[in-house]
Structures are given as structure tokens and as C-alpha cells.
Amino acid sequence: MSNLLEVSNVSKRFTMGGLFGRKTVDAVDDASLTLSAETPEIFTIIGESGSGKTTLARMILGLELPSSGEISFRGKTVSHRVGRQERLEFMANVQPVFQNPFEAFNPLKRIDRYLESTARRFLKLSQRDDLDGAMDGSLQKVGLSLAEVKGRYPHEMSGGQLQRAAIARALIPNPPLLVADEPVSMVDASLRMSIVNLLKSLRDDLGVSVIYITHDLATAYYISNRLIIMQRGRIVEMGDARTVLDNPEHPYSRLLKASVLSTEDAGDGKLATDPGMVTLAGELVGRPGRLVDRADGRMVRVYG
Amino acid sequence: MHGYLLFAGKRALLMLAVIFFGVSLTFLVTHLSPINPVEAALGRMTARSVSNPEAIVAMRAALTELYGVEAPLWSQYLNFWGRLVRGDLGPSLMAFPTPAMTLVMRAMPWTVTLLTVATLITFVVGNILGGLAGYSQNNKFLKAFGIVAIAIQPVPYYIVAFILLIIFGFLWPILPISGGFAMNVTPGMNWPYISSVLQHAILPASSLVLVGFGGWFLGMRALVSNVVTEDYVTYAELAGVKKSTIVGGYVMRNALVPQLTALAMALGGVFSGTVITEQVFNYPGLGSLLIDAVNAGDYSLVLAVSTVSVTAVAIAIFIVDLLHPLLDPRIRAE
């Protein structure tokens, strides 16, 4: 079995501060995960703000270099500085989708020009018909069409349309892997499901693997095959999405699940989480522990 | 295209309204000034000789008649506009009967050249360095530059100007400190004159650059550090777009839109001169002319200077308004 993506023992340490008083932050600590090349899946990274999920994604995209550890894509390492040509080859295979669709496009550039230059660059197309075909093809996959997008600037489209256009752009090179960093958190609730379903159909119909980064447990449960839960840079639980979310074992995972708002709780005027759970999960921050295998296939971090 | 013309037409009307109100306001302010041009002129004429009282009374009557200041304000106002639309701003009162416009035109090249060059240098250097500082925030040299810019920024302009004067005029006297050119050269297209003019411009220009550059630097740095975090810049970096293209095409261009507005305003302001610079360096420009005119109660000349600067600023704003939709598609939509 060959691996599409292999992240092994990756850590990232940031140094903050200037002349006076330096401080280091371990944004990601000893993270490992593997995506298989044969079976496309949606792999979810869950965690609160500051848990290191975005840093991990940025390292997978090659935007940050790991302080230690190794990331390889189809056996080729991406965790060191690479030349422009290699960068392009990698980008043709791993495409990003960003959180805020309004920031994903240069406001001074037309969207079709973006799609066109992506097609030119990655598909090496130059004929007008071929370019239009490639653009329209990928727009169709996300439920848009070239006619709708042509000549329009980002501010002339809605957030949901823009996010689809961003995904269409990502799909132009036919990449086997998408890295989607909170792709629905800035989209209206009513459009959220259409984007999530889109990711699902990308996996099921087009065989694209997706690294889906979110803090939203409901959509994670709905579409992911496997997931990891991160707390302050450390993976605390990892495994099959249903197994983990149905019955989370690590205190932090349980806290996350308990914190999901339900209409019943809100109706009862009960919005605060059990303080005991919060302390229990909080105490584990910063303690190394180690990941152990469980009988149901999941891995959990245990301490002491 | 039709929408754009409509928009341009609206803006043109707005510009004319601004000029009308601006000039009217200056007219009112100058005519309500407590300095009486007739008395000021009499004072100048009688300062060096003793005249008999009857002669003074006769002169006062003649000057009042000549200047036309006894007419009611509204008829002076109507007269003023009547002449203005024909391009005539009337004679200067302190240098009677030289037309005020001639004096303005004589002073204008000094001010406009000095300020345009200083403003453009300031703009280009400040924005390029500021943009680079915002893009590569860990660069030691640019960081140090930022600290210097923040340190100079709050120092009042005249202090900077005097420090330059003291350093380069007295402690290390290598530059001329006063005037527009040396006494011993003949104005014209000859090298001694040109080099003298350039030398005399160095100190005033550098004082303006020193003080003005920090604002552009800090402004651009803040704008760029905002743009850099946008995802489309990240995407361009990911896609292996060349660094120079990212800085030029994505970051600087997007951050430059508000800076261009400020540039146009600054260039429009060039026509009102810089009173302090011209006073400190005794530079022969519109600012000095304006001060002299105010002190002499020469409202005709004050009005001429103000009319020119009000018109220049209004036109500059009009041009910015016309250019904006071409630079930024988001404005086109409205």
C-alpha cells in the first residue's frame, strides 16, 4: 500500500518577541498521520483556536517548514525549501481551500482570470477553447458555470459562490489532495451544507482526498472517514470518525463533544459546560503523555 | 461606459461647487480682515518722508478710489467674479498696478518645482521602503528604518528645518541656507544659475522629505502588512509565483489604492506652497508671497494665491475620483 501523504513526527516551534524576552510556542508537537493513495478519504483535523490545526495544514502545504520531523507527498519530501519547478509540481497535486472566500481572491482581479491562469500554469493549456473547457469543467463540478463567473470580480459574487469558485480553482489541476482550512466557517449556515456535500461528492465521485480542518463537530461527523483531535499542538485522539465521536475517550475530546450546542440545552437555558470537565481537560495541557492504541482502532493520549 | 460618464459629470459639478464655495469663502475672509490696504499703502509711502496732512488726505482719497474698496461688499464680490471668469484676478495692491496673477506666476515655479520633487521623492521612497517593510517584517534594516520613521514623525517640521539649517549652514557650512539662488548669477539657462538653484533647493527639499517620508512609510507598512495576510497572497506564494510579482502585482498594487488618493491631495496642496519652509529657508515661493500679501492687506493677491490653490486641490481630487474606478473594480460597482 503506497502512501499519498505521510506526516511523521512533525513539530513546529515558533519564537516570539524581539530584543527583550523571547518566548517559544510549540504550535505542533510530534504529529504523525498517513493518507493512503488507494482509498480517497476525508481526513478531519479538529481543534479549538490555537490547537495547531492550521499550522499543521500550512506545513502540509509547504508554507511553513517543520522544526523537526518529515512530511512527504507520494514519497517525495516537502518539508524543506524547494525550487519553483518542484513547487509547481507539488501545487498541481495538493491544492488549498481557504477559510474566508472573500480573501481567497485578489479583489482587483477577475475570477475567470484566476481560473484561466491556474489552467495555463498547471494544465499547460494555451488554446482559448481548451482553457474555457477546463474552466467550465471544474466550475460544473462545484455547481457553477463559466457563464455565471465570466467577467466578474470577487465583490460581485456571494460568499457561497466565491467559496465554490475557490474550490473550482483548486480542482483545475485535478489534484489528488485538497487541504481545506475551515472552508465553511465563513459561509452562511444555509450554504454550509452545500459546500460540505460538495467535499463529500469530490471524494465519492472524483476520488479526491480532503484534509478537512474544522472546529465544527457536526460536519466532521457527517463527512469524515477518519479524524484527529488536537489540543495545544498535540494530537490527543485519532481514529475512525464515528468511533471517536460516538464515544470520545480523551477528556478534551469529551469536552469538545459536550460543548456542542444543542437546541434542547439552549432551550433549558443551559449553555455552560460542566466546569469539572473543563478543569480536567485544562490540566492536561502541556503534559506530554503518549499515544496508545485501543482495541477499536483509535489512538488516545494517556498520561502518567 | 454611460454610467462612468454620468459619474464623471457629477464629480465635475461637485468640483465646480467646491471651487465656487472655496473662493467665495476666501473672498469673505480677506475682505473682513482688519488690515486696511489703503492705510497699509499710505504707511509704506509716508514711512520715509514727512508729508503734510492735506497731501495724506488727498492720497488716501486717491488710493481708496483706485483700489475700489469703498464700494459695498456685494458689489465688490460681483465685480470679483465678473473679472475672475474672464481670467483676470485684478491688480495687486501692494505692487500696484502689477496684475496679481503675474506675481503668482512668478512665484509658482519655485514652489511647484520644489514641492513636486520633494513630494514625489517622499512618496516613492516612503512607499517602496514601507511596502518592503510590511512584506518582509523580519528584515533588520527595514525594522531599524521603521524605528527612525516613528522617531522623526512627531518632531514638528520647523524644528527639523532649523536642525538642518544649523548642521549644514553653521556647524558644517557646505550648503546655502537662504534664497532661491546666489546673488552673483544671472537667471537664465546657464549652468552657474542652474547649479545654484539646485544647491539652494537641497536643504528645503530634504527637510520636506525627512518629515514627510515617515507618514508614507508607516502608512504603507500598515497597509501592506494587512494585505500580506490575505489568503490570495498565500495562494500566490503556494503557486510559486515569483516574489517580485507577488510584491509588485498583488501586495503593493492593492495597498497603493488609498495611498494614491493621498498623493493626489498632496500634489494638489503643492499649489498653496509651504509657508513654514519658505519662511525658514527664505525661499521665493507662493508661501512667502502669501505672507507678504496678508501683512500688506493685499487681498487681491491673497485671493489670487488662494484661488489658484483651491482650484488645484479641487482638480486634484476630481482626477483622483476619475481614476479610482479604473484602479479598483469595487468602486466601479456603485
Residue-wise pLDDT tens digits, A173-213:
889 999 998 888 877 777 788 888 989 988 998 889 999 99
Q: Which one is predicted more confidently, B167 or A267? A: B167
Distance from CA of B226 to the nearest CA of A (A): 11
pLDDT at B167: 93
The helix/strand/coil state of A103 is coil
Task: List CB contacts (< 8 A) between B239 and chain A.
Answer: 87-88, 91, 118, 121
Report, as an integer, the average pLDDT of A122-131: 86
Partners of residue B244 in chain A, C-beta under 8 Å: none
Position B158 in a domain: yes
Residue B275 domain-assigned?
Answer: yes
- The ipTM value here is 0.72
* Average predicted confidence (pLDDT) for chain B: 85
Q: In what order do the strands lie in the sheet with A68-73?
A: A23-36, A3-16, A68-73, A76-77
| Candidates B238, B254, B327; nearest CB to A106 | B254
For residues B96-103, average pLDDT: 86
pLDDT given for residue B87 in this prediction: 79
**C-beta of residue B221 within 8 angstroms of C-beta of residue B130:** yes
Query: What amino acid is encoded at A148 in this protein?
Result: E
pLDDT in tens, A26-57: 888 888 888 888 889 999 999 888 888 888 98
The alpha carbon of residue B153 is apart from the nearest alpha carbon of chain A, in Å, by 22
Nearest to B94 by CA among B63, B54, B71, B70: B63
Asked if A155 lies within 8 A of B329 by C-beta distance, the reply is yes
The minimal CB distance from B254 to the residues A88, A100, A107 is found for A107
The three cell numbers of residue A290 are 503518549
B50-74 residue pLDDT tens? 677 888 888 888 888 777 777 788 8
Asked if B254 lies within 8 A of A62 by C-beta distance, the reply is no
**pLDDT score at B175:** 86
Q: How far does the CA of residue B232 sit from the closest CA of chain A (Å)? A: 5
Are B330 and A107 inside 8 Å of each other by CB?
Answer: yes
Do A107 and B240 count as a contact with CB atoms less than 8 A apart? no
Question: Which grid coordinates are listed for B186?
Answer: 544671472
- Report the CATH number at residue A140: 3.40.50.300
Contacts of A246 (CB under 8 A, 6+ apart): none
The closest alpha carbon to B305, from B9, B10, B15, B27, belongs to: B27
Residues in A touching B235 (Cβ below 8 Å): 96, 98, 104
Ranges of beta strands (E only) in A90-204 are: 94-97, 177-181
pLDDT for the residue B38: 80
Instruction: Read off the amino acid at residue B6.
Output: L
Q: Is A99 in contact with B231 (Cβ distance < 8 A)? A: yes
The residues with which A213 forms a beta bridge, in sequence order, are: A45, A181
Chain B, 176 to 235: residues with Cβ < 8 Å from chain A are 230-232, 234-235
> Which residues, numbered 234 to 273 in chain B, qualify as contacts with chain A under a Cβ-Cβ cut-off of 8 Å?
234-235, 237-240, 242, 250, 253-254
- Residue B271 domain-assigned? yes
Note the pLDDT of residue B163: 92
Interface of A to B at Cβ within 8 Å reads 61-63, 84-85, 87-88, 91, 96, 98-100, 103-108, 110, 118, 121, 153, 155-156
Quick check: B79 pLDDT over 70? yes
Name every chain A residue with its beta carbon within 8 A of the beta carbon of B248.
Answer: none
- Per-residue pLDDT, A104: 86
The minimum CA-CA distance between B145 and chain A, rounded to whole Å, is 16
- pLDDT at residue A19 greater than cutoff 70: no
pLDDT at A236 over 70: yes
Among B230, B238, B250, beta carbon nearest to A91: B238
**Which residue is closest to A99 within chain B, CA to CA?**
B231
Q: What is the CATH number of the domain that holds B238?
A: 1.10.3720.10
Min Cα distance B162 → chain A (Å) is: 34
B50 versus B300: the higher-pLDDT residue is B300
Decide if A155 and B330 are in contact by the 8 Å CB cutoff: yes
Work out the average pLDDT over A283-295. 83
Q: Which residues of B touch A100 (CB under 8 A)?
A: 231
Supply the pLDDT for residue B273: 63
pLDDT mean over B74-100: 84
> Looking at the partner chain, which of B238, B327, B330 has a beta carbon nearest the beta carbon of A61?
B238
In this prediction, what percent of chain A has a pLDDT beyond 90? 11
Residue A1 reports pLDDT greater than 70: no
Instruction: Compare B117 and B330 and report the one with higher pLDDT.
Output: B117
Residue B161 domain-assigned (yes or no): yes
Kindly state the average pLDDT of the residues B221-241. Answer: 85
Query: Residue A272: what pLDDT?
Result: 66
In whole angstroms, what is the distance from residue B30 CA to residue B95 CA?
17
Residue B1 pLDDT: 63
Q: Given a cut of 80, is residue A304 above it in pLDDT? A: no
Q: Which domain holds residue B153?
A: 108-283
Q: Which residue has the cell 479604473?
A: B326
End-to-end CA distance of chain B: 13
Would you state the pLDDT for residue A44? 94
Collect all residues of chain A within an 8 Å Cβ-Cβ radius of residue B253: 108
Q: Does pLDDT of A157 surpass 90?
A: no
Of residues B235, B328, B329, nearest to A96 (C-beta)? B235
Q: Do residues B213 and B125 make contact, with C-beta atoms less than 8 angstroms apart?
A: yes
Contact B231 A103 (CB under 8 A): yes
Integer Cα distance of A7 and A79 in angstroms: 10
Are the Cβ atoms of B234 and A156 closer than 8 angstroms? no
Report the relative pairing of strands A209-214 and A42-47 from DSSP bridges: parallel
pTM of structure: 0.75
pLDDT given at position A269: 67
Asked if A236 and A252 count as a contact pair (C-beta separation under 8 A), the reply is yes
Strand partners, A235: A230
Q: Give the three-class secondary structure for A135.
A: helix
Contact check, Cβ <8 Å, A106/B240? no
Confidence of residue B39 (pLDDT cuts 50, 70, 90): confident
Task: Look at chain B and report how many structural domains it folds into.
Answer: 1
pLDDT above 70 as % of chain B: 97
Best of B232, B326, B327 to mutate (most A CBs within 10 Å, chain A): B232
Rounded CA separation A302/A60 (Å): 26
A190 vs A135, higher pLDDT: A135
> Which domain, by its residues, includes A59?
3-302
- Region A58-65: mean pLDDT is 86
A270 φ, ψ (degrees, to nearest 5): -115, 100
pLDDT for the residue numbered A267: 67
Question: Which residues in chain A are contacts of B230 at CB distance < 8 A?
Answer: 103
pLDDT of residue B333: 53
Chain B residues whose CB is inside 8 A of the A153 CB are 329-330
Looking at per-residue pLDDT, the higher value among B333 and A218 belongs to: A218
Of B231, B239, B254, the CB nearest to A100: B231
Taking CB atoms and an 8 Å cut-off, how many pairs form between chains A and B? 52
- Given a contact cutoff of 8 angstroms between Cβ atoms, the answer to whether B66 and B96 are in contact is yes
Distance CA B69, CA B94 (A): 14
Of A84-98, B34-48, B99-113, B192-206, the one with minimum mean pLDDT is B34-48
Per CB-CB distance under 8 Å, the chain A contacts of B146 are none
Question: Higher pLDDT residue, B67 or A111?
Answer: A111
Condensed to tens digits (0 to 9), the pLDDT of residues B159-216 reads 999 999 999 988 988 888 888 888 788 888 888 888 888 889 999 999 989 888 888 9
Q: Search chain A and give the residue with CA nearest B242.
A: A84
**pLDDT mean over B247-271:** 84
The least confident of A20-24, A96-100, A192-196 is A20-24
Rounded Cα distance, B96 and B98, in Å? 5
Q: How many domains does one find in chain A?
A: 1
Secondary structure (H, E, C), chain B: CHHHHHHHHHHHHHHHHHHHHHHHHHHHHHHCCCCCHHHHHHHHHHCCCCCCHHHHHHHHHHHHHHHCCCCCHHHHHHHHHHHHCCCCCCECCCCCCCEHHHHHHHHHHHHHHHHHHHHHHHHHHHHHHHHHHHHCCCCHHHHHHHHHHHHHCCCCHHHHHHHHHHHHHHHCCCCCCCCCCCCCCCCCCCHHHHHHHHHHHHHHHHHHHHHHHHHHHHHHHHHHHHHHCCHHHHHHHHCCCCHHHHHHHHHHHHHHHHHHHHHHHHHHHHHHCCHHHHHHCCCCCHHHHHHHHHHCCCHHHHHHHHHHHHHHHHHHHHHHHHHHHHHCHHHHCC
- CB atoms inside a 10 Å sphere around CB B255: 24
Contact B238 A105 (CB under 8 A): no
